[in-house]
Homo-oligomer: A and B are copies of this chain.
Amino acid sequence: MLFEFIGYLAGICTAVCFMPQTIKTLRTRDVKSLSLTSYIIYNLGIFSWTLYGLHLKSVQMVLFNSISLIFSLSILYMIIKYKNKKAN
């Protein structure tokens, strides 16, 4: 029961963790301190987890990782888009 809770906590946290980062970057358009390489690897990882979840027919894995992918892809897109924008 406790570990079931911890498992769900883990899944929810890693699903929504980059929502605040997405909102912050959307607002400020400042990507200067964000690592492009990190977000490329992170997106590849989350995409692979989603595929692996589909293979395992795990609804939770697919759901949590798909949510995570929305934010990580948004951040990656903004890093590429705003990369050359001068800092304010």
Contact = CB atoms under 8 A, between A and B. Distances in A.
A21 to B, nearest CB: 4
* Size bracket, chain A contacts: 35 or more
Copies of this protein in the assembly total 2
A24 B33 contact: yes
A42 B13 contact: yes
A23 B33 CA distance: 11
A74 interface: no
A81 to B, nearest CB: 13
A52 B10 contact: yes
Contacts of A13: 41-42, 44-45, 48
A18 B34 contact: no
